[in-house]
C-alpha cells in the first residue's frame, strides 16, 4: 500500500504540472499549432471542468471497486491517452481534447489518496498526510514553470524565429566551423568576436556601455543612463537594453533594476538567471 501511495503522490505532482504547463507553452503552441490565448484558456478551462465533473463518479468508483483499480484505469486511459494525443496534436482542438482526457486521468489521484488515508491510517494522522500530499504536489507547479519556461525559451527554433524577424531577407546557412572562432571568443574569452549591429545611435551607445560591464558583475539601468551621459533617460535605456539583438556578446543580462530586481529580458527571465549564475560560478572558480 505504501508503494501505491508513493505512486499516487507522483501522479498528483503530474496533475499539478498539467494544471499549469499550458501557460508556459503558449509561445511554442502559437507557433506550431496556431493556438491563440483564447484557445489555450478554453483548453485549460476544459481540464478544470472535466476534473470537477469527474469527482462524483470517482467517489462512486472508490466506494465500489477501490482506489487501486479506479486510479489505475483512469490514469491509464485519461492521463496516458491525453498525453499521447497532446504529443501528436496538430490543431488547437486536439489540445483541448487532450486536456479533457488529462482531466479525466488526474481526477482520481487526490481523492484516492484521501480514501487510503482515511481507511488505512489513524484519524490523528489524516491531516498530516493530506498536507504532505498537497505540499509535494506543488512540485508539479514548479516543474511546469521554471524548467519548462527555460526549455521553451532557449530552443533552436525560437532563436531562429527571432533571427528571421530581425533579418527577413537573409538566407541562413548552418556552418559550425565558420563560427568556431566567434564561439571561442564568446565563451572561452579567447580571441575577438566581431558583431554587426543595426540600431538607433542612442541604442548603440547603450549597447556599447553594456560591453564594458565585466563578467560576473552587474549594473543598473540608472547607472547605464549615467554612463551614456543622460541620467534622466532611465526608461529609454531600459528600452534600448531590451532591444539588444545579440545575447551574451552584448551582456544585457547584466543590467538590473535599481531595487535589485531582474527587470526584463528578451530571451526570458529563466535564461537571464541562468546566465548570471553561470558567470558568477565561472568567475569564482
Q: Which residues are catalytic?
A: 252
d(CA 26, CA 36): 8
Find, among 179, 160, 180, 181, the residue nearest to 171 by Cα: 160
Torsion, CA 241, CA 245, CA 249, CA 251, rounded to 10: 20
Q: Which residues contact 268 (CB under 8 A, 6 or more apart)?
A: 149, 150, 152, 153, 154
Helix (H, G, I), strand (E, B) or coil at 219: strand
- Please give the full DSSP string across 69-91, using - where no structure is assigned: HHHHHHIIIIIIHHHHHHHT--S
CA-derived radius of gyration, the chain = 25
Instruction: Kindly list the distances between the CA atom of residue 283 and the CA atoms of 206, 218, 277, in Å, as whole numbers in the listed order.
Output: 24, 13, 10
Amino acid at each position: 500500500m505504501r508503494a501505491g501511495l508513493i505512486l499516487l503522490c507522483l501522479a498528483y505532482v503530474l496533475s499539478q504540472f498539467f494544471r499549469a504547463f499550458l501557460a508556459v507553452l503558449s509561445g511554442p503552441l502559437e507557433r506550431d499549432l496556431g493556438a491563440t490565448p483564447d484557445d489555450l484558456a478554453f483548453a485549460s478551462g476544459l481540464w478544470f471542468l472535466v476534473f470537477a465533473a469527474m469527482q462524483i463518479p470517482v467517489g462512486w468508483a472508490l466506494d465500489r471497486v477501490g482506489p487501486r483499480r479506479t486510479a489505475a484505469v483512469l490514469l491509464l486511459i485519461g492521463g496516458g491517452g491525453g498525453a499521447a494525443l497532446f504529443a501528436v496534436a496538430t490543431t488547437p482542438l486536439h489540445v483541448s481534447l487532450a486536456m479533457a482526457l488529462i482531466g479525466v486521468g488526474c481526477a482520481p489521484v487526490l481523492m484516492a489518496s484521501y480514501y487510503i488515508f482515511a481507511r488505512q491510517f489513524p484519524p490523528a494522522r489524516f491531516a498530516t498526510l493530506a498536507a504532505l500530499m498537497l505540499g509535494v504536489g506543488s512540485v508539479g507547479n514548479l516543474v511546469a514553470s521554471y524548467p519548462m519556461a527555460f526549455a521553451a525559451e532557449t530552443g533552436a527554433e525560437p532563436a531562429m524565429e527571432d533571427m528571421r524577424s530581425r533579418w527577413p531577407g537573409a538566407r541562413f546557412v548552418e556552418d559550425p566551423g565558420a563560427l568556431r572562432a566567434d564561439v571561442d571568443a564568446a565563451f572561452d574569452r579567447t580571441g575577438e568576436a566581431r558583431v554587426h549591429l543595426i540600431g538607433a545611435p542612442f541604442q548603440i551607445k547603450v549597447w556599447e556601455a553594456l560591453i564594458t560591464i565585466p563578467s560576473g558583475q552587474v549594473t543598473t539601468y540608472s547607472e547605464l543612463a549615467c554612463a551614456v551621459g543622460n541620467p534622466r533617460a532611465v526608461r529609454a535605456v531600459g528600452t534600448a537594453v531590451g532591444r539588444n539583438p545579440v545575447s551574451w556578446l552584448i551582456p544585457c543580462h547584466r543590467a538590473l533594476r535599481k531595487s535589485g530586481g531582474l527587470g526584463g529580458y528578451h530571451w526570458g527571465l529563466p535564461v537571464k538567471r541562468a546566465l548570471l549564475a553561470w558567470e558568477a560560478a565561472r568567475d569564482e572558480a
